[in-house]
Chains A and B, each alone.
Chain A
């Protein structure tokens, strides 16, 4: 409880992202440049300690690229990521390694995320070994504790199993356990349930949410599924073509969407066809934007029903605050 005062005192954001760009050079035969994919193209945001946020957006809008850049797996082309006030780009080898221990990563495909030739014990021991936990009994204790935490049991049995012997849900629990075993302060989960059976999705999401609140973790949660996001995140960022176009607390955003793109997403959500209702992919009409040659002005303008000729197709919208705490990058709110 003494803590709350200090943590209230250090309302410094845990993670700050400043004008972040992650571009990929497309090369032919390994050297000829044939184009640049603007996967992340000017994202700025700040996440507080213990906050759970969701990123939503169509397939290919750069969500995974953003996640990987935050994890330090991609080097930003421009802009910077600051963790606890420290720019990632300025970290030395040892500090970068320490950062990797502080940020856990949960991937989309649990089977692919686990080395098929290692058993669960070894998979969970690997991060500990990498981070210098040399004492075997200490490792075993931590591995068992984390397996208990993700409710994967009976522990003795599971420890000796290989990934292919586990169900998808169990595999994802191992992935989550691996992300947690180094006691991180932040977890980045990239569509953690999209490849799982519908029956176990809610379990896994509940698990993540519970661990997040128990450990007071910062959770970055990437999803396609707007229907469940209300329960698992406090804030939502809507991404379109490498940029964040709208962000607000969950209820605010879902109940009072402002950006035409978000509106289109949500109207698709209320589609009577249940299959379409939960997915964003088919949403809204028109071509998805090219990331190699992004549309001029507002990137959504070719598909926007309210596009204003002479403005939207020429000038990039800046961020407006149509409602308190609600940020929207659209000329409608200027």
Chain B
């Protein structure tokens, strides 16, 4: 039956390189989607995309690593220097201890880091400990980074230290601290081993101090990071199953409901048909996007609600007119009359004898319909009506837009999601057009 027709179609389809390429792209996207949902479980992805403390060790607005290297750069990656208990020197005094914690690392990049933070933990201390920080450069200079009374969870934003900036001659600390004093106007990196030494006075016999220095890079991973330090790869990856699912469900939902309703109208004729026609005409002049914007603004931007609205508004879409025109002659086919004569029910005739007849013709339209819904979802997100919690391509674009990514030179932030959207469109369009030629023989000679 239809399977047979599809099999024959497939054999013919394989002769179209564009179809194979489209299939390849779609297969790639599907694999990415599958990998994503397995590797990063949904709740974990939502949790992570909410942002916050979990990302504090990631750089802000870092470029993808490969992109920098491709451009011949040598921007640093993020260095995380944990304190090593072995190296801590400890001296006791009455009522407390004196700790000397060295945090040493080698820095050999040609480019300066993007930022520098020191994270300290001083939990369970009876009285807040006091820490004095000093910065030792490879050439033996000792620069004081000031003293801090430590909270249980303490962050020293070294690169925000204005006083230090002034002392470094106007250079931001994460540049000034790494600059070669010999370099003139344009600061250059002094490569070598750097040391941040913490001299801590602890007013407690046992309680410990935990120190982590983060020298943020300017590049990160394969997709870079956004203004909230989140890895863009998370949204780009999770955007794939979301986009495919949205596109597929919306396309299936609208096509099937439209088809069944068109077939009902054709079969029952009379007022049923007339009602469907009128509803379609009314629906055709209702603009989809503004309605979605309205629902999103006034109600909720949940992706499921949007999907529901898209499908509901799609039920009485213009497709009904096309399907109706295709189904009308089928209604009069002798085999339909034969089916009535042997007692087939109306439902059976509509679903088993009328719809399957035009299904092969619809498959290409259906395939090309998928990306239009993917784009619709992305457009909504760009308009700020994306799902509030889901990481999607559209949300990435929306963030990039609100953060003026292009103006700030974060091209990768816009290009990656746009490329994925284009790839999706391309894959389905190439397959759909090739299918159209195979399944709609009238087009074959065009």
The answer on a CB contact under 8 Å between B4 and A112 is: no
Q: A107-B337, A182-B342 are in contact. Are A117 and B356 (CB under 8 A)?
A: yes
Whether B66 is near chain A, meaning CB under 8 Å from some CB there, is no
Whether A82 is near chain B, meaning CB under 8 Å from some CB there, is no
Inter-chain CA distance A101–B1, complex, in Å, is: 24
Whether A126 is near chain B, meaning CB under 8 Å from some CB there, is yes
- Residue from the list B1, B4, B334, B344 in contact with A107, Cβ < 8 A: B334
The answer on a CB contact under 8 Å between B335 and A115 is: yes
Inter-chain CA distance A96–B335, complex, in Å, is: 19
Whether A122 is near chain B, meaning CB under 8 Å from some CB there, is yes
Residue interface mask B128-155, A partner, CB < 8 A = 1: 0000000000000000000000000000
Q: A118-B1, A122-B1, A162-B4 are in contact. Are A130 and B334 (CB under 8 A)?
A: no
The answer on a CB contact under 8 Å between A117 and B2 is: yes
Q: How far apart are B336's CB and chain A's nearest CB, in angstroms?
A: 8
**Shortest Cβ distance from B359 into A: residue:** A117
- Residue from the list A105, A112, A117 in contact with B341, Cβ < 8 A: A105
Residue interface mask B1-21, A partner, CB < 8 A = 1: 110110000000000000000
Residue interface mask A96-130, B partner, CB < 8 A = 1: 11001101010111001111111100100011001
Residues of B within 8 A of A144 (CB): none
Instruction: Tally the A-B contacts, defined by beta carbons under 8 Å.
Output: 64
Q: A101-B343, A127-B343, A131-B343 are in contact. Are A117 and B338 (CB under 8 A)?
A: no
Inter-chain CA distance A113–B2, complex, in Å, is: 18
Whether A71 is near chain B, meaning CB under 8 Å from some CB there, is yes
The answer on a CB contact under 8 Å between B344 and A112 is: no
Inter-chain CA distance A53–B434, complex, in Å, is: 54
The answer on a CB contact under 8 Å between A101 and B342 is: yes
The answer on a CB contact under 8 Å between B342 and A127 is: yes
Residues of B within 8 A of A71 (CB): 341
Residues of B within 8 A of A107 (CB): 334, 337-338
Q: A112-B334, A118-B1 are in contact. Are A105 and B353 (CB under 8 A)?
A: no
Task: List A residues 65-81 near B (Cβ within 8 Å).
Answer: 68, 71-73
Q: How far apart are B3's CB and chain A's nearest CB, in angstroms?
A: 10
The answer on a CB contact under 8 Å between A119 and B338 is: no
The answer on a CB contact under 8 Å between A112 and B335 is: yes
Q: A127-B342, A127-B343, A178-B342 are in contact. Are A119 and B4 (CB under 8 A)?
A: yes
Q: A107-B337, A117-B356 are in contact. Are A126 and B344 (CB under 8 A)?
A: yes
Residues of A within 8 A of B5 (CB): 117
Q: How far apart are B28's CB and chain A's nearest CB, in angstroms?
A: 33
Q: How far apart are B40's CB and chain A's nearest CB, in angstroms?
A: 43
The answer on a CB contact under 8 Å between B356 and A112 is: no
Whether B357 is near chain A, meaning CB under 8 Å from some CB there, is yes
The answer on a CB contact under 8 Å between A119 and B342 is: no
**Shortest Cβ distance from A67 into B: residue:** B341
**Shortest Cβ distance from A128 into B: residue:** B342
Q: How far apart are A120's CB and chain B's nearest CB, in angstroms?
A: 11
- Residue from the list B4, B274, B343, B357 in contact with A130, Cβ < 8 A: B343
Residues of A within 8 A of B340 (CB): 73
The answer on a CB contact under 8 Å between B338 and A178 is: yes
Whether B339 is near chain A, meaning CB under 8 Å from some CB there, is yes
Q: A117-B357, A131-B343 are in contact. Are A105 and B338 (CB under 8 A)?
A: yes
Inter-chain CA distance A126–B352, complex, in Å, is: 10
Residues of B within 8 A of A131 (CB): 342-343
**Shortest Cβ distance from B357 into A: residue:** A117
Inter-chain CA distance A119–B334, complex, in Å, is: 17
Whether B56 is near chain A, meaning CB under 8 Å from some CB there, is no
Residues of B within 8 A of A117 (CB): 1-2, 4-5, 356-357
The answer on a CB contact under 8 Å between B343 and A97 is: yes
The answer on a CB contact under 8 Å between B339 and A126 is: yes
The answer on a CB contact under 8 Å between A119 and B1 is: yes
Whether B333 is near chain A, meaning CB under 8 Å from some CB there, is yes
Residues of A within 8 A of B227 (CB): none
Residues of B within 8 A of A112 (CB): 333-335
Task: List B residues 225-270 near A (Cβ within 8 Å).
Answer: none
**Shortest Cβ distance from B348 into A: residue:** A130
Task: List A residues 243-293 near B (Cβ within 8 Å).
Answer: none
Task: List B residues 305-346 near A (Cβ within 8 Å).
Answer: 333-335, 337-345
Q: How far apart are A95's CB and chain B's nearest CB, in angstroms?
A: 11
Residues of A within 8 A of B344 (CB): 126, 130
The answer on a CB contact under 8 Å between A73 and B339 is: no
Residues of A within 8 A of B1 (CB): 117-119, 122
Residues of A within 8 A of B356 (CB): 117
The answer on a CB contact under 8 Å between A73 and B337 is: yes
Inter-chain CA distance A109–B335, complex, in Å, is: 10
Inter-chain CA distance A175–B337, complex, in Å, is: 12
Residues of B within 8 A of A68 (CB): 337
Q: How far apart are A327's CB and chain B's nearest CB, in angstroms?
A: 29
Residues of A within 8 A of B357 (CB): 115-117
Residues of A within 8 A of B345 (CB): 130
Residues of A within 8 A of B337 (CB): 68, 73, 105, 107
Q: How far apart are A105's CB and chain B's nearest CB, in angstroms?
A: 4
Inter-chain CA distance A103–B338, complex, in Å, is: 11
Residues of A within 8 A of B353 (CB): 115
Inter-chain CA distance A113–B345, complex, in Å, is: 17
Residues of B within 8 A of A103 (CB): 341
Inter-chain CA distance A71–B337, complex, in Å, is: 10
- Output the residue of B274, B340, B348 with the most chain A CB within 10 A: B340
Inter-chain CA distance A130–B339, complex, in Å, is: 9
Residues of A within 8 A of B274 (CB): 30
Inter-chain CA distance A96–B2, complex, in Å, is: 31
Residue interface mask B74-112, A partner, CB < 8 A = 1: 000000000000000000000000000000000000000
- Residue from the list A109, A116, A130, A162 in contact with B342, Cβ < 8 A: A130
Inter-chain CA distance A112–B334, complex, in Å, is: 5
**Shortest Cβ distance from A105 into B: residue:** B341
Inter-chain CA distance A97–B335, complex, in Å, is: 18
28 contacts between A and B (CB under 8 A): A30-B274, A72-B341, A73-B337, A100-B341, A100-B343, A101-B342, A101-B343, A105-B338, A105-B342, A107-B334, A107-B338, A112-B333, A112-B334, A113-B334, A113-B338, A114-B335, A115-B353, A117-B356, A117-B357, A119-B4, A126-B339, A127-B342, A127-B343, A130-B344, A130-B348, A131-B343, A162-B4, A175-B338
The 7 residue pairs across chains A and B that have the minimum distance between CB atoms: A100-B343, A105-B341, A112-B334, A127-B342, A113-B334, A97-B343, A115-B335
15 further interface pairs, Cβ-Cβ under 8 Å (given A100-B341, A126-B339, A175-B338): A68-B337, A71-B341, A73-B340, A96-B343, A101-B342, A103-B341, A105-B342, A112-B334, A112-B335, A116-B357, A117-B5, A117-B357, A118-B1, A126-B344, A130-B343
